[in-house]
Amino acid sequence: MFSGIIQCIAKIKSIIKKKNFLQIIIKTPNYFNYDLKRGDSIANNGCCLTIREINNNLLYFDIIKNTLDITTFKKLKKGDYLNIEKSLKLIDFVGGHLITGHITDIAKIIRINNYINSKTIWLKPYHKSQMKYIIKKSFICIDGISLTIDKIHINQFSVNLIPETIIRTSLSNKKINQNVNIEVDLYTKISVNTIKNYFTNKLFT
């Protein structure tokens, strides 16, 4: 599990294409890797990946076809930047919201409103079915960042970026028509599906 509070931005140093999967090598700040070991889970742009190898401040990850199919990773390029977070410990403070690291959809950025110290970003999920889990003032994870849903309009929604998010994450550099990974809030999804199943069962009993 993760909290959506980004701990660093990492640069992709290399992408190695193999049959049905990619291997990526990312460079992290020197302080980030001190307590990591092979097999640890790291959120890369919100997607939980397992460390394959550690070499000083380089981390190696394998990305299988199933992950490539449902994330923005299939369009990664050398030199791209990723939002990075270590998995939570039981004693950690959760500053955002609980995130599984399992991407639920890709969303396209369709509008960006820039203000003096903030931004508002409008996004459209690729699958309209995701919108039933996107509720005003609920949580959503975008490229690994815990954010609050501000407004909803049909099959679109907006989030606001405060100065801290702009400074500490790569989301501030995203442009219109670029894609991001999203993970809807797990508890919202459970609640919506439970209520739907309850009334469906009542209808046919």
What is the DSSP track for the chain?
-B-S---EEEEEEEEEEETTEEEEEEE--TTTTTT--TT-EEEETTEEEEEEEEETTEEEEEEEHHHHHHSGGGG--TT-EEEEEEPPPTT---SS--B-S---EEEEEEEEEE-SS-EEEEEEESSGGGGGG--TT-EEEETTEEEEEEEEETTEEEEEE-HHHHHHSGGGG--TT-EEEEEE-HHHHHHHHHHHHHHHHHHT-
**Average pLDDT of the chain, as a whole number:** 93
Predicted local confidence at residue 19, as pLDDT: 81
Predicted local confidence at residue 91, as pLDDT: 73
Which CATH architecture group holds 8-86? Beta Barrel (2.40)
Predicted local confidence at residue 106, as pLDDT: 98
Predicted local confidence at residue 202, as pLDDT: 66
User: Once rounded to an integer, what is the mean pLDDT over residues 136-141?
Assistant: 95
Predicted local confidence at residue 137, as pLDDT: 94
Statement: 105-195 belongs to CATH 2.40.30.20: yes
Domain positions in the chain: 8-86, 105-195
Does position 180 have pLDDT exceeding 70, yes or no?
Answer: yes
Does position 156 have pLDDT exceeding 90, yes or no?
Answer: yes
User: Once rounded to an integer, what is the mean pLDDT over residues 76-87?
Assistant: 95
Predicted local confidence at residue 176, as pLDDT: 97
Q: pLDDT digits over 20-61, tens only?
A: 889 999 999 989 998 999 999 999 999 999 999 999 999 999
Q: pLDDT digits over 191-205, tens only?
A: 998 988 877 776 666
Domains 8-86 and 105-195 share a fold: yes
Does position 4 have pLDDT exceeding 70, yes or no?
Answer: yes
Q: pLDDT digits over 92-119, tens only?
A: 777 888 899 999 999 999 999 999 999 9
